[in-house]
Structure formats: structure tokens, C-alpha cells
Chains A and B, each alone.
Chain A
Amino acid sequence: MRYADALRTQALRRDEVIVLTAENRAPIRDLPPSLGLRFIDVGICEQTLIGAAAGLALRGRVPVAHALAAFLTMRAFEFIRTDLGIARLPVKLVGYVPGFLSEANGPTHQAIEDVALMRGIPNMRVVCPADEDELAEALPVLLDDPSPCYVRYNHLPPAVEHRAPFALGKAEVLTEGGGVALLTYGFLLREAAVAARLLEELGVPVRLVNLRTLAPVDEAEIVAAARGTELLVTIEDHFATGGLYSIIAEVLLRHGVAARVHPIHLGDRWFTPALLPGILEHEGFSGPRLADRVLAALAPHPRPLSHPLPPDRERGAPSHLFRTGLPLSRQGGRGWERGPGGEGPRS
């Protein structure tokens, strides 16, 4: 389902919903005719976007405010923290082109500290849907929730065939292998699913986890993944500080659980601007590159490369995951990338 359709449906069902934007209309451009005066564009004024949303919330409205993720979370940060956070107002923030989705815009537009900033605000929900379907499904849940929330907007087609309904603070566990746990959020689930399949083909059982919400985060699942696998791998288009890797560290420490953790993130640098497939390849986040990096992290455990490749289907590889998987862009590279099933490129 398209986000705009879900938002229209909710807004027509609930008078309290007001749609706001700081002149970022692309995904919601069709809404003004249906919503009339309940669609408010404040122009390129992110601070006023938040202040006005706070005022509307004081009057009982549930504003859904849209802007580019970088400017929403950073230009307006203090308004979010002060007007929404302190008062715990139910304003829903939707940040466009977060993380790698800013593609070729360059560092000014790269929201890769947004999770750190937003989850640092008490009571702020941080929601990172894996695809547009998940976003649309999450929307009514978020509108019902009394807290402010920040959504990493994602317009991409389904990353996987989802197994569990969306719930705040609940991860979706897609496969339950005991070798390595791939923990991720947002559209990178699609790449992680490709990596998971490649790893499974090499005999590395994978627990593939779609975190969905980072605040609150599913602590029970993180602990279960740590206890049930040999290695936790976090995969995120975010700086090292304050994102999923930090969250995992905090959760494991809080629960007194020791685990091997291999983080895959952007460290402390902005990523190379390009179109999305180019970024994924260049930054090492495409499915095959992720599988490669996980294998390297598993290196002290020599099993994968020497392990005989099992038949694809019989091993129960999660074929349901690959409805929209990326092309296996490195066909002809390592043997494990090609896979025994002879599956061709998908696009």
C-alpha cells in the first residue's frame, strides 16, 4: 500500500489528523484535494513546522509533519526536543530520504545521525520501516500512540514477505538460524535478506531480524539473538555513534549478556554520494558485499568457505524473502555468490 493512500485513509477517518509539510510534497502531493485545509504547507521553515505542529497538538490534533530527514531532525532539533519532547506531544515526524536514500545529494542531506538524535529525546519513538508496506501498516499504530515519533520514511517496494504485524517495540524475526544474527532496520533489510540467503547457501544459519522500531527497541529479541547465535551483526546506514550498534551495546550491558558483535555502519564519515545501487556497492552494503563482510567477521570460524554447499531449496533457504531482492551484482565473483541453485539476476 502507498503511504499517501494510508495517510489519506487515516486522515479521512480521523478529524484530528493534520498533514503538515515544510515544502516537501513529493510523497503526499495528491493529498490536498482530499484534505483541504487540513493540509498545511509552511514553506521551507522546519522550525515553524515543529512549533506549529506543537500548537496544533495543544488543541487536540495529531499532526503528521513531513520534511527532509536531515533538516527535520537537525535544523529543527531543538524545537523537536523542547516543544514536542518536554511536553510529550503526539506529533508524528516523517523524515524523507534518510540515510542512503539521500542518494547523490551529498553530505548536507545525509541524515545518518538521525536515529542517535531522535532516540536521545525522552518518549520519542523511532520507527524505521523496511518498506512502504510496512510504513503504511505502521501508520495507524503510530497515530494511536500518545507519544511523539520520528519515522525514517521509506518508499521502496517490499523488502521481504513480512511475517508479523507491525507493533511498536517488536522486532520481526524472519529466519531463526543459530549461526549469525543479522540485525537491521529500514530498507537495508532487503540487502540483509540477500546476504542471509547467500550465507545460508554456504551453510551459515542466519537469524534475520527486522528491528522495525529502535525506540522502544525489542530488548527481548536482542538478548535472544545474542544467546541463540555465535555472532551478532548490526547493519545500518548510520554513523557508529548512537545507532543500532550503540543500542545493542546498551541492551546487552543492561541485561548482563556478553556477545560477539560485528557492526556494519558508516563509522564516523559521510558516505560517497551516488545513486542507491552505486552507494550500496561502493560502501559495501549490497547483499553480496554484506555477506562478504559477515564471512570475514566469521573468519576465526573457518566453516563457511570450506563447507560443502547444500542444495538451495532443501536447506530451507528463505526463498520467501526474495520477492524483490537486488540483483546479485557480483555474479562470477566468489563461488558462494553464484549459489548452487543457479539463480539468475533479479531486478
Chain B
Amino acid sequence: MSDLAGLPALSLAVREHVVRMATRGGCFIGASLSCADLLVHLYTRVLDISPERLDDPSRDYLFLSKGHDVPALYATLAELGYIERGRLARHLSPDDAIYWHPNRAVPGVEFHSGSLGHLLSVGLGVALDIKLRGGKNRVFVILGDGELDEGSVWEACLVAAAYQLDNLVAIVDRNDFQANARTEELIPLEPLPFKFQSFGWSCRTADGHDFAELEAAFENLPYAQGRPSVLIARTVRGKGIPSIERRADRWFANFTAAEVEALLGELRGEAAATLVSEGMVVR
């Protein structure tokens, strides 16, 4: 387990990897940056897992359900020794399996995703089996807030509550955006804690970029015996680079090499990057 004080540096390294993947084809940079701190915190402070125990049935499981934020996962796995850092340079190469959505060819990735609304039910199945076998390990599923539009998420919520799966933990990366729109302007989700609570889940919220708050939020799982838990992590799309934060058009980005260098500077606290490539809005 890393020291809490070391996490900001690790997060910065992860974000740098993400920015470097946002060129020569690009990546979904907005969501990757919003969940980078969550992933860093989970892998260093919460999950009972290590690169040596990828097949250990008593490990904790983490499923990345929204999928398109996988650059942050690749980067976290690279920084923590699950995969070689050099593989990140092969992002989008046909010679590697590092592409826009997760897949199990990458050590540490539990299951493929990209089609939204799948992995809460897959995680539910894993949690059921752990219960059947009397295991103590836990299953974490990261959901996008836009992903909550999918009805299958709420099916899984009903079933997880019915089976009292208190070893199942959903984490909503609440960055307030779905692809190209603010959730509250397109399909409003609030009051979101109430929705989960009314489905039988115990719910907390935390600042998804504040490691002390995350530490407290993950300290006492489950939040209620016999109930699945959900943490709504308030996050910022594009977090760490003010010039692309909270931007509807910086969902997916494919920057020039010069822009990447400028964005890396901005990430380290230097002047705001000047972006010439256009934002991307797909409607």
C-alpha cells in the first residue's frame, strides 16, 4: 500500500500517460482524467490485489464499466507494475492490445467493456459467486454518470439489492457529462443518491479528487450490512488541465505533438496550453 502522501505524484504520472495517449489517434481524455485519482486511490489504498495475484480467486475485483476511460487504467497498471510502461507507447498499435476500450489481454483488466451498462451485472455475478463460496473479497465497478442512462444498470441494482450483495461496490465517476452534453441538461440524474437509495443501495458521496475524502469513503465498506454500496465520486471532466476541464467538446481528443507538450506543461502548473486542434462534438 502506498502512502497517502505519495498519491498526488502517482496521479500526475498517470495523467501524463493519458495526455501522451491523446495523440496519434487520440483517446477519451475527459473521462480518463476525471477518474485517474479514483483509480490511483483504489489500486494503492483499497483493492486487495497485486501483479502477482491476478488469478487469485480471493483477490478484489475492479471492473471498468464505462470503458472509454481505460487510458487512466492502462497508465495506473503501468505505474504499478502490472504491465510494462513501454506498452503505453503502443497505444492503438495493431501489435498490442492497448486500444480505446478495455480487454482482458491486458494484465489487470478483469473484463472487456465499452458497451455501456454491462459490467455492473457481470460484477454482480462475480459477487454472487464470492458469496456462494463464503469469500470475503469485494467487487468494485466504476460506472460513468452518463452510463446510468442504460436501463441494464438499474436492473442490476435491483438484483444486487435483492441478493443483499454487500460485497459489491459501485463507484460513479460523477463528472457531470455524458459524451457531448451535461447530464443535467440532457437526461437529468439528480437526485442521484436518492435513486440508488430507493433501489436498496447504501450511498455516500465524496470528492473524487481528494484522497483524504476517498480514504474515508472506502474505509468502512460496506456502508450497510446486507446492502450493496455506491460511492458517488464528484469529479471534473478533464481534471488537472484547466484549458480542457468541464468542456463538452473535450470528450475525445486527438492532439498534435506540440499540443501534447503544452498540455503536459499545463498539467505541471505551467502556462495554459494553446490548442489549435478543434474540439470534437459528436451528436
Contacts and interface: CB of A to CB of B under 8 A. Distances in A.
Contacts of A63: 125
Nearest to B103: A86
A55 B131 CA distance: 13
Given A42-B159, A52-B121, A58-B122, A47 B152 contact: yes
B114 to A, nearest CB: 8
Contact of A51 (B110, B121, B130, B133): B121
B271 to A, nearest CB: 44
B125 A52 contact: yes
Given A43-B159, A45-B158, A55 B129 contact: yes
Interface stretch (A76-84, A101-109, A136-144): A76-84
A34 interface: no
Nearest to B124: A52
A42 B104 CA distance: 26
B152 A55 contact: no
Given A55-B126, A55-B127, A55-B129, A43 B121 contact: no
A197 to B, nearest CB: 48
**Which of B121, B152, B156, B159 has most A Cβ within 10 Å?**
B121
B128 interface: yes
Nearest to A91: B125
Contacts of B119: 51
Interface string B112-156: 100101111111111111111100000000000000000110011
B122 A52 contact: yes
Given A40-B128, A47-B121, A52 B111 contact: no
Interface string B156-191: 101100110000000000000000000000000000
B57 interface: yes
B125 A51 contact: yes
**Which of A37, A54, A61, A78 has most B Cβ within 10 Å?**
A54
A51 B111 contact: no
Interface string A4-32: 00000000000000100000000000000
Given A79-B118, A87-B104, A87-B112, A54 B155 contact: no
The secondary structure that dominates the B interface is helix
Contacts of B111: 54, 58, 87
Interface string B213-253: 00000000000000000000000000000000000000000
A240 interface: no
A23 B152 CA distance: 16
A162 interface: no
A51 B128 contact: no
A54 B122 contact: yes
A53 B159 CA distance: 13
A48 B115 CA distance: 14
The secondary structure that dominates the A interface is helix
A251 interface: no
A47 B155 contact: yes
A57 B128 CA distance: 11
A2 interface: no
A59 B133 CA distance: 10
A50 interface: yes
A54 B112 CA distance: 11
A38 interface: yes
A60 B112 CA distance: 17
A61 B129 contact: yes
A274 interface: no
B118 A52 contact: no
Contacts of B131: 37
A59 B126 contact: yes
A56 interface: yes
B152 A86 contact: no
Nearest to B63: A55
A53 B125 contact: yes
A86 B112 CA distance: 9
A59 B122 CA distance: 11
A43 B120 contact: no
A51 B121 CA distance: 5
B156 A58 contact: no
**Which of A55, A57, A61, A87 has most B Cβ within 10 Å?**
A55
Q: Which 6 A-B pairs have the closest CB atoms?
A: A55-B125, A51-B121, A52-B125, A59-B129, A45-B155, A55-B126
23 contacts: A43-B158, A47-B151, A48-B124, A48-B156, A50-B121, A51-B118, A51-B120, A51-B124, A52-B124, A52-B156, A54-B111, A54-B121, A54-B122, A55-B125, A55-B127, A56-B129, A58-B122, A59-B126, A60-B57, A79-B118, A79-B152, A83-B118, A87-B104
Given A52-B125, A56-B129, 16 more contacts: A42-B159, A48-B121, A48-B124, A48-B152, A48-B156, A51-B119, A51-B125, A51-B152, A51-B156, A52-B122, A52-B156, A54-B111, A55-B128, A79-B121, A83-B122, A87-B111
Interface of B: 57, 104, 110-112, 115, 117-133, 151-152, 155-156, 158-159, 162-163
